[in-house]
C-alpha cells in the first residue's frame, strides 16, 4: 500500500511543480482577455480531425492483433477511447490495463499478448513522432540533418545485426543479460521483446510505420487548425514541434491527464519558437481542455458499454505487478 501511495503522490507533486513553473510569470488578466476572444470553429474542425485519429489507431491495433484473432474495428475503437479516458481519470496508466482487461474478456487473445501489442503501439508512436520531429528540426536548421542520418543509420545497423543473428543465439544472449537484471526490470524487458516478436513480416512493419506516421500527421494538423482559434496560425512545422513538446510532457510521470507537465511541454516549445508566453499558455491550456472534453464526450459511452469497474481493474493491475 505504501508503494502504491508513493506512486500516486509523486506524480501529483511533479504536476504541481510543473504547473507552478509554467504559470509563475503568467499575467492572468491578459490570459483572460485572450481566451475570451477564442473562436469556436477551429475547435470543431479539430474535433473531427481527432476522430479520424481514433479510427487509424484502432486500425493499427487490429493489424497487431490479426496474427492472434481478427477483431472488428468498432470494439477496438471503443476500447481505445475508453482506455484514454481512464488514463485521464486515474493514475498509473490504468487505461492500458483497462484495454487489455476488456479485450481479454471479449476475445480469445491472452491479456499478456494484448499488453505486448500495446507496448508495440507505444514503440511505433515514439518512433514515428521522433522521426517527424527530427525532420522538422532539420528543416528549420535547428540541428544538422547529418545527425538525423547518423541516428537512423545506427538504428538500422542495430536492427540488422539483431535480425541476422540466429534466434537461438539471440535468445541465449538475452537470457544471460536478463539474469543480471532485477526481477521486475527483467520482466519488463521480456514483455517488450514479446511485443517485438508479434511482427512476423516486413509488410506488417511497413503498414504500422505508415499508419503511425499518418496518425501523428493528423494530430499535428489538428493542433495547427485549433491554433487558428487564438490567431497563432501555427505552421505545420511549428505545430509538429509543439506536439513533440506536448508528448514529452505527457511522458513525464504526472497526475491523471498530465496536468502541469502537458502545459509545461507545450508552452516551453512555443516560447522557444518566439511566441508570447501569455498567448502560448492560453493556447495550450485551451487545447488541453478541448482534448480532455473530447475524450470525455467519446469515452463515457464506451465506459458505460463496457461496464467499467475500478475495483476489478485495480485487482488486475496489482496481480500483473505481482507476476
- The predicted-structure confidence for 190-232, as pLDDT tens digits, reads as follows 655 655 555 666 778 888 889 999 999 999 999 999 999 999 9
- Domain, as residue range, for 297: 28-322
Q: Does the residue 19 lie in any domain? A: no
Tally of domains in the chain: 1
- 3-class DSSP state for residue 258? helix
Q: Considering the domain boundaries, does residue 1 fall inside one?
A: no
- Residue 37 DSSP code: T
Radius of gyration for the chain, computed over Cα atoms and rounded to the nearest angstrom: 21
Residue 191 forms part of a structural domain: yes
pLDDT of residue 3: 61
63-90 confidence digits (pLDDT tens): 999 888 999 999 999 999 998 998 888 7
State how far the Cα of 49 lies from the Cα of 98, in Å rounded to an integer. 25
| 20 falls within a domain | no
Of 171 and 141, more confident? 141
pLDDT(27) > 90: yes
Q: Confirm whether 8 is domain-assigned.
A: no
pLDDT tens-digit profile of 287-302? 999 999 989 988 888 8
CA 118 to each of CA 60, 121, 166, 195: distance values in angstroms, whole numbers, following the listed order: 10, 5, 26, 8
Mean pLDDT, all residues of the chain: 80
**Is residue 60 exposed (0-12), middle (13-18) or buried (19+ Cβ within 10 Å)?**
buried
pLDDT score at 256: 83
Q: Which residue has the higher pLDDT, 15 or 189?
A: 15
Contact 229, 286 (CB under 8 A): yes
pLDDT of residue 255: 83
pLDDT of residue 134: 75
Give the pLDDT of residue 157: 47
Question: What does the pLDDT average to over 247-259?
Answer: 84
Task: Establish if 12 belongs to a structural domain.
Answer: no
Amino acid at each position: 500500500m505504501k508503494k502504491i501511495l508513493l506512486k500516486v503522490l509523486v506524480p501529483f507533486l511533479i504536476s504541481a511543480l510543473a504547473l507552478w513553473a509554467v504559470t509563475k510569470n503568467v499575467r492572468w488578466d491578459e490570459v483572460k482577455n485572450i481566451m475570451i476572444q477564442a473562436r469556436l470553429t477551429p475547435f470543431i474542425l479539430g474535433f473531427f480531425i481527432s476522430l479520424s485519429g481514433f479510427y487509424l489507431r484502432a486500425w493499427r491495433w487490429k493489424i497487431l492483433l490479426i496474427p492472434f484473432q481478427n477483431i472488428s474495428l468498432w470494439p477496438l475503437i471503443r476500447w481505445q477511447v475508453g482506455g484514454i479516458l481512464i488514463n485521464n481519470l486515474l493514475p498509473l496508466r490504468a487505461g492500458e490495463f483497462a484495454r487489455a482487461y476488456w479485450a481479454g474478456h471479449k476475445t480469445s487473445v491472452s491479456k499478456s499478448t494484448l499488453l505486448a501489442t500495446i507496448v508495440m503501439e507505444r514503440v511505433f508512436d515514439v518512433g514515428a513522432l521522433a522521426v517527424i520531429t527530427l525532420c522538422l528540426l532539420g528543416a528549420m536548421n535547428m540541428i544538422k540533418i547529418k545527425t538525423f542520418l547518423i541516428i537512423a543509420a545506427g538504428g538500422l545497423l542495430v536492427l540488422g545485426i539483431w535480425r541476422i543473428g540466429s534466434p537461438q543465439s539471440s535468445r541465449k544472449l538475452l537470457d544471460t543479460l536478463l539474469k543480471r537484471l532485477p526481477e521486475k526490470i527483467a520482466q519488463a524487458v521480456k514483455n517488450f521483446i514479446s511485443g517485438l516478436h508479434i511482427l512476423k513480416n516486413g509488410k506488417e512493419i511497413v503498414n504500422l510505420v505508415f499508419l503511425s506516421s499518418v496518425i501523428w500527421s493528423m494530430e499535428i494538423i489538428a493542433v495547427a487548425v485549433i491554433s487558428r482559434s487564438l490567431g497563432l496560425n501555427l505552421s505545420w512545422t511549428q505545430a509538429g514541434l509543439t506536439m513533440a513538446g506536448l508528448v514529452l510532457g505527457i511522458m513525464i510521470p504526472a497526475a491523471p491527464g498530465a496536468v502541469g507537465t502537458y502545459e509545461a511541454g507545450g508552452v516551453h516549445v512555443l516560447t522557444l519558437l518566439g511566441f508570447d508566453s501569455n498567448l502560448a499558455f492560453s493556447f495550450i491550456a485551451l487545447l488541453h481542455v478541448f482534448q480532455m472534453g473530447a475524450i470525455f464526450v467519446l469515452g463515457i459511452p464506451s465506459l458505460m458499454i463496457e461496464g467499467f469497474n475500478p475495483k476489478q481493474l485495480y485487482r488486475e493491475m496489482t496481480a500483473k505487478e505481482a507476476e
